[in-house]
């Protein structure tokens, strides 16, 4: 967008009446108010639902602008894009509803961020629109929630600290989820079910999903075999049994793309994986086997129509979520173990003080969008970025100052 046609809003929340969209809207209102230094608006397909949401925010929200558009209405989406510097989408599953808005942002040169964890959809969007985004200047940043900001920024922070302490980066990094309290969002579960459904019908997609570099730029690969925990294992460094982490498939690919987009800052032969710590001894081992079996059952069941129907009846639905009290008492604690090529080790921690799927996620995407609007130079290239590769230090500072996240060095040796 040219300087003579600056849009009226800095931020626009599309899908504001979704469950996460409502939490995000409240967060933006509590943080910035209405009519302050940050100009923003909310959008969705129902005027009445938008009005109800605005009325719930507080007495000072009466002037918050409301815009109506459907996720499939391309002219309406283009009109939204022309009115904002950054558009935030909470409308998922993105593989079903997300492409028209990506297309509109790319065509209008509008910056964009979302909460997707659908790696197969990200790959399609990059393939179809990255050249046009570079041409128009639109900066597209996927994965701005629990997947994948804590992992992506956690690795970024660890490498920053390793460079400071050792004078070199860590060629191997492992993320271990030590503890968490909260639930997966209904939108995340719906996206996971949709991925399993698509993979069952598409052998090529199954091959792509097995590739940790599936969303990295063409030619970015390593000769080193990438680790991938598919069953129970044991971590000697942290002295804990491990189980696969459900978000590992998307986070790993985002981090490899971050590495590529930073000119392989982490090294061409960088390796990375993620897992859940289940504890020591027999109890930890049994928990690792139990989580592995549960994940396998979920994805196998989601791939077949009869069992998929049953699963959908018993998991959170899009639009559903925990109470405000549950969101505030949730948390997550992630440990990152990095090793250099000369044998030195650094252990870092990323913590969040809200439940990961809702309270923390809404804050993370709110700060990512604000960072994109105010902290990224206007001449930074368009294209499909990751949180770490585009937002970096300014986002880290915003996350620690406002979003309840902390980044700490626990040990170097």
Q: pLDDT tens across 154-174, in order?
A: 999 999 999 999 999 999 999
Task: Give the position of tokens 């996620």.
Answer: 361
Residue 63: enclosing H or E segment and its boundaries?
none
Task: Give the position of tokens 């994940």.
Answer: 295
Residue-level pLDDT at 232: 96
Residue 2 has pLDDT above 50, yes or no: no
Note the pTM of the prediction, 2 decimals: 0.93
Q: Give CA–CA dist 390/393, Å, rounded.
A: 9
**CATH 3.40.50.720 describes domain 3-145+362-393:** yes
Q: Are 68 and 50 in contact (CB under 8 A)?
A: yes
Q: Give CA–CA dist 366/47, Å, rounded.
A: 22
Q: Give CA–CA dist 406/388, Å, rounded.
A: 16
Residue 97 has pLDDT above 60, yes or no: yes
Q: How many helices (H) and strands (E) does the chain have?
A: 16, 14
Q: Give CA–CA dist 392/250, Å, rounded.
A: 19
Least confident of 51-60, 71-80, 240-249, 308-317: 308-317
Strand locations in 78-130 (E): 84-89, 111-114
Task: Give the position of tokens 């701005």.
Answer: 144
What is the DSSP code (8-state) at residue 357?
I
Q: What percent of the chain has pLDDT over 90?
A: 79
**Residue of 303, 94, 116, 305 lying closest to 203 (CA atoms):** 303
Looking at residues 299-326, what average pLDDT do you find? 65
Residue-level pLDDT at 99: 98
Residue-level pLDDT at 304: 64
Q: What percent of the chain has pLDDT over 70?
A: 90
Mean predicted lDDT score pLDDT of the chain: 91
Residue-level pLDDT at 306: 66
Residue 295: enclosing H or E segment and its boundaries?
helix 281-302
Burial per residue of 247-286, b for 16 or more beta-carbon CB atoms within 10 angstroms, e otherwise:
bbbbbbbbbbbbbbbbeebbbeebbbbbbbbbbeeeebbe
Residue-level pLDDT at 72: 96
What are the beta bridge partners of residue 348? 336, 409
Looking at residues 376-388, what average pLDDT do you find? 96
């Amino acid at each position: 967008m040219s300087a003579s046609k600056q849009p009226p809003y800095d931020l626009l929340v599309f899908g504001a009446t979704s469950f996460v969209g409502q939490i995000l809207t409240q967060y933006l209102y509590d943080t910035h108010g209405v009519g302050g230094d940050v100009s923003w608006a909310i959008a969705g397909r129902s005027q009445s639902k938008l009005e109800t949401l605005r009325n719930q925010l507080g007495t000072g929200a009466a002037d918050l602008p409301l815009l109506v558009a459907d996720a499939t209405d391309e002219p309406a989406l283009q009109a939204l894009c022309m009115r904002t510097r950054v558009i935030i989408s909470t409308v998922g599953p993105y593989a079903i509803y997300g492409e028209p808005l990506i297309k509109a942002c790319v065509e209008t040169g509008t910056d964009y961020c979302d909460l997707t964890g659908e790696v197969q959809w990200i790959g399609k969007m990059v393939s179809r629109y990255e050249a046009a985004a570079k041409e128009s200047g639109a900066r597209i940043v996927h994965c701005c929630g629990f997947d994948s900001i804590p992992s992506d920024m956690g690795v970024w922070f660890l490498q920053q600290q390793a460079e400071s302490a050792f004078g070199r980066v860590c060629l191997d990094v492992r993320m271990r989820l030590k503890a968490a309290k909260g639930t997966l969002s209904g939108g995340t579960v719906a996206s996971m079910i949709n991925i399993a459904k698509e993979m069952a019908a598409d052998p090529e997609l199954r091959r792509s999903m097995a590739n940790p570099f599936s969303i990295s730029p063409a030619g970015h690969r390593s000769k080193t075999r990438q680790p991938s925990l598919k069953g129970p294992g044991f971590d000697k460094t942290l002295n804990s049994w491990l189980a696969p982490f459900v978000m590992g498939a998307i986070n790993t690919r985002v981090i490899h793309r971050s590495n590529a987009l930073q000119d392989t800052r982490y090294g061409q032969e960088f390796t990375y994986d993620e897992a859940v710590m289940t504890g020591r001894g027999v109890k930890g081992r049994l928990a690792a086997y139990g989580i592995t079996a549960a994940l396998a059952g979920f994805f196998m069941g989601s791939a077949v129509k009869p069992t998929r129907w049953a699963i959908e009846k018993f998991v959170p639905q899009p639009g559903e979520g925990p109470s405000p009290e549950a969101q505030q008492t949730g948390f997550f604690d992630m440990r990152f173990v990095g090793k250099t090529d000369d044998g030195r080790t650094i252990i870092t921690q990323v913590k969040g003080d809200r439940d990961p799927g809702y309270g923390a996620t809404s804050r993370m995407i709110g700060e990512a969008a604000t960072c994109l609007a105010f902290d990224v130079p206007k001449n930074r290239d368009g294209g499909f970025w990751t949180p770490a590769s585009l937002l970096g230090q300014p986002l880290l500072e915003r996350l620690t100052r406002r979003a309840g996240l902390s980044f700490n060095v626990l040990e170097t040796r």
